[in-house]
A and B are shown apart, each in its own frame.
Chain A
Amino acid sequence: MSALAYAIGDTAVVAKRNLLRIPRQPDLWVSFTIQPLMFVLLFVYVFGGAISTPGYDDYTDFLMPGIIAQTMAFGGFVTAIGLSDDLSKGLIDRFRSLPMARSAVLAGRTFADVATNIVSLTVMVVVGLLVGFNFSSSAPEVVAGFALLLLFGYAFSWVFAYVALISGSAEGANALGFMVIFPLTFASSAFVPPESMPPAIEAFSNANPFSTVVDATRALFLGTPAGNDVWAAVAWCVGLIAVFGALSVHKYRRAVSS
């Protein structure tokens, strides 16, 4: 078999391992089902009334694409925590002593996140519909929106894989992960229109890839004008995967448990 065939086979074995683990870790379900649900209820019913979103029918329509994108990004925490755990328990040592593809542990890990992200996405869409969200675009656009969100989640799994590999402990990965994800998600167009922010933060928000993905998802879900947002969002995702994939595999080769 060729090296590529081995790499694919090894990735499938590791992905299967991680998928088998999901139903056995009920504490993790909280993070990708109940937590996002809480965010929706908080923003729709607590903050929503105080945030004005000109150009949108109501705040729920504005909010849902943003909060789903945030949930997808948070999905990467499953990778961060899982990898940190594997590092501290010596499993990474075992994997690295096996004649398997060097990329497979990470690729299998991030691939399994897509499954949990599909569950999160389903929960969020159902909740969104219950609190009054309306898809006002064509079916193919909605499907494209789902695909973009899953791609974005996959990209963040690689970001979090790198976070886990450089932090060395689950607690460290958790802290570093939040430091990355909170500014990115909140200083963006996800929850409030950037025009309402001070100029410096508005500029940050406009340059923030998170805003690009949220704007593209809004366009795909609500039929608002997209401009170049969709392609820019895809490019951001592919770029993140390429950069953090390479960084992570490089770091993994030298990974040491401490």
Chain B
Amino acid sequence: MGDAAIEVQGLTKSFGDVRALDGIDLRAPAGTILGLLGPNGAGKTTAVRILTTLLPPDGGSAHVAGLDVVRDAAALRAQIGLAGQYAAVDENLTGFENLEMVGRLYHLGMRPARERSRELLERFSLTDAADRLAKTYSGGMRRRLDLAAALVARPPVLFLDEPTTGLDPRSRLQLWETIEARVAAGTTVLLTTQYLDEADRLADHIAVIDHGQVIAEGTSDELKSRVGGERLEVTLQSYDQEPAAIEALAPLADERPKCEHGILVMPLARERGGIAEAVRRLDGAQVRISDIAVRRPTLDDVFIVLTGHAAEHEKKGQEEEQREEEAA
């Protein structure tokens, strides 16, 4: 398996007629973050469930920490930590009791389990809430407790299934920092997310999944370069001037500028003068603008180009309990 902490080849899984995974390949070298990016129902959660031994694959092979997810399932469970899409903590136990229980079930022994629990509560700023029932915690606190539970046994490989879905921006940032610290310490992470900025910030390598297939992969920069270079975006003050603006800027690009709802978008070729030349030409044609900017492609653009639909439209349904797919 080389030094890959996660190695997946031709993995398939169907639920009835639905092909949740249609032969995916994934690879994460030790000490890196692999981001699995895709809309709801793309197969992300199914992949995580197979890699954490919760679900048997139909075909293909998958190794985590050098162990086969089917044949070595029992040994593999000692090497992984899992934090779910919704915080899997026992609401009727305190934060400390939750972590202690998980530590004991990893067979750390009573005293090490307790010491480790206190240490993690401290690190996740939960010391004050340690002896409160988890049902009194806020969403962010539960997520932190859930992540702490996944870290109790210091597993070399961590699976985080949409760890920040439904979190406020501050809690998200805290969680990101924690994940980065774990990776700096040598942990390998497989992260699923539908947030493009999350994958952009955290993942060393990104696999974009749709309909159970990896449709693109690479670093965030590599993916962005696939959708082309910089673009110029001009916001007009008046819709009436759309034709004038198009005429003025057409010579700056090979492609004719597109204009919709008073916003003109075109590829930007620096050798033809870039943004400065565009401003001069618009001024010369007496087109009044309220904004002009150079846009670099985001992962959102990547997503739209690759899948033909935006990741954003899924965001409405981000209730905490929502599951990515129904596992039959």
Per the 8 Å Cβ criterion, residues 80-125 of A in contact with B are 89-91, 93-100, 104
By CB atoms of chain A within 10 A, which of B84, B88, B133 has the most?
B88
Given the complex, which residues of B lie within 8 Å of A9, measured CB to CB?
104, 107
Pick the residue among B77, B80, B82 that contacts A93 (CB under 8 A).
B82
Assuming A256-B55, A258-B327, is B104 touching A94 (CB within 8 A)? no
A13 at the interface (CB under 8 A from B): yes
Instruction: Give CA–CA (A95, B82) in the complex, Å.
Output: 10
Q: Using an 8 Å CB-CB cutoff, how does the interface string of B63-94 with A read, 1 for contact, 0 for none?
A: 00000000000110110101011111111110
A228 at the interface (CB under 8 A from B): no
Assuming A89-B88, A91-B90, is B327 touching A256 (CB within 8 A)? yes
Instruction: Give CA–CA (A257, B323) in the complex, Å.
Output: 9
Taking a contact as CB atoms under 8 Å apart, the answer to whether A97 and B78 are in contact is no
Instruction: Give CA–CA (A17, B133) in the complex, Å.
Output: 13
Instruction: Give CA–CA (A217, B200) in the complex, Å.
Output: 68
B305 at the interface (CB under 8 A from A): no
Assuming A91-B90, A94-B149, is B105 touching A100 (CB within 8 A)? yes
Closest Cβ of chain B: how far from A125's Cβ, in Å?
A: 28
Taking a contact as CB atoms under 8 Å apart, the answer to whether A21 and B88 are in contact is no
Taking a contact as CB atoms under 8 Å apart, the answer to whether B54 and A25 are in contact is no
Per the 8 Å Cβ criterion, residues 236-258 of A in contact with B are 256-258
Given the complex, which residues of B lie within 8 Å of A14, measured CB to CB?
101, 105
Taking a contact as CB atoms under 8 Å apart, the answer to whether A99 and B74 are in contact is yes
Specify the chain B residue showing the minimal Cβ separation from A25: B92
Pick the residue among B84, B89, B90, B105 that contacts A13 (CB under 8 A).
B105
Closest Cβ of chain B: how far from A51's Cβ, in Å?
A: 41
Taking a contact as CB atoms under 8 Å apart, the answer to whether A94 and B327 are in contact is no
Taking a contact as CB atoms under 8 Å apart, the answer to whether A21 and B93 are in contact is yes
Given the complex, which residues of A lie within 8 Å of B49, measured CB to CB?
93
A201 at the interface (CB under 8 A from B): no
Instruction: Give CA–CA (A24, B135) in the complex, Å.
Output: 11
Instruction: Give CA–CA (A108, B155) in the complex, Å.
Output: 25
Taking a contact as CB atoms under 8 Å apart, the answer to whether B107 and A6 are in contact is yes
Interface size class of A (residues with CB under 8 A): 20 to 34
Taking a contact as CB atoms under 8 Å apart, the answer to whether B74 and A97 are in contact is no
Taking a contact as CB atoms under 8 Å apart, the answer to whether A21 and B102 are in contact is no
Assuming A17-B101, A96-B54, A98-B77, is B86 touching A89 (CB within 8 A)? yes
Assuming A17-B93, A25-B92, A90-B88, is B77 touching A97 (CB within 8 A)? yes
Closest Cβ of chain B: how far from A40's Cβ, in Å?
A: 29
Taking a contact as CB atoms under 8 Å apart, the answer to whether B53 and A94 are in contact is no
Given the complex, which residues of B lie within 8 Å of A256, measured CB to CB?
54-55, 327-328
Per the 8 Å Cβ criterion, residues 130-149 of B in contact with A are 133, 149
A10 at the interface (CB under 8 A from B): yes
Specify the chain B residue showing the minimal Cβ separation from A102: B74
B52 at the interface (CB under 8 A from A): yes
A20 at the interface (CB under 8 A from B): yes
Interface size class of B (residues with CB under 8 A): 20 to 34
Taking a contact as CB atoms under 8 Å apart, the answer to whether A97 and B92 are in contact is no
Closest Cβ of chain A: how far from B234's Cβ, in Å?
A: 48
Closest Cβ of chain A: how far from B92's Cβ, in Å?
A: 4
Taking a contact as CB atoms under 8 Å apart, the answer to whether B77 and A94 are in contact is no
Taking a contact as CB atoms under 8 Å apart, the answer to whether A20 and B93 are in contact is yes
Closest Cβ of chain A: how far from B54's Cβ, in Å?
A: 6
Taking a contact as CB atoms under 8 Å apart, the answer to whether A24 and B77 are in contact is no
By CB atoms of chain B within 10 A, which of A6, A14, A99 has the most?
A99
Pick the residue among B85, B90, B105, B328 that contacts A10 (CB under 8 A).
B105
Taking a contact as CB atoms under 8 Å apart, the answer to whether B106 and A99 are in contact is yes
Instruction: Give CA–CA (A181, B73) in the complex, Å.
Output: 38
Assuming A17-B101, A99-B107, is B54 touching A93 (CB within 8 A)? yes
B319 at the interface (CB under 8 A from A): no
Pick the residue among B88, B89, B92 that contacts A24 (CB under 8 A).
B92
Given the complex, which residues of B lie within 8 Å of A24, measured CB to CB?
92, 133
Taking a contact as CB atoms under 8 Å apart, the answer to whether B84 and A90 are in contact is yes
Taking a contact as CB atoms under 8 Å apart, the answer to whether A94 and B102 are in contact is yes
Given the complex, which residues of B lie within 8 Å of A25, measured CB to CB?
92
Taking a contact as CB atoms under 8 Å apart, the answer to whether A95 and B54 are in contact is no
Taking a contact as CB atoms under 8 Å apart, the answer to whether A99 and B78 are in contact is yes
Taking a contact as CB atoms under 8 Å apart, the answer to whether A91 and B78 are in contact is no
Instruction: Give CA–CA (A10, B113) in the complex, Å.
Output: 13
Specify the chain B residue showing the minimal Cβ separation from A258: B326
Pick the residue among A13, A90, A97 that contacts B104 (CB under 8 A).
A13
- Name B's A-contacting residues (CB within 8 A): 49, 52-55, 74-75, 77-78, 80, 82, 84-93, 97, 101-102, 104-107, 133, 149, 323, 326-328
16 contacts between A and B (CB under 8 A): A1-B107, A10-B104, A13-B101, A13-B105, A14-B101, A17-B97, A17-B101, A20-B93, A94-B84, A94-B149, A98-B105, A99-B106, A256-B55, A257-B323, A258-B323, A258-B327
Q: A17-B90, A98-B77 are in contact. List 6 more A-B contacts (CB 8 A).
A: A93-B84, A94-B82, A94-B84, A94-B88, A94-B149, A97-B52
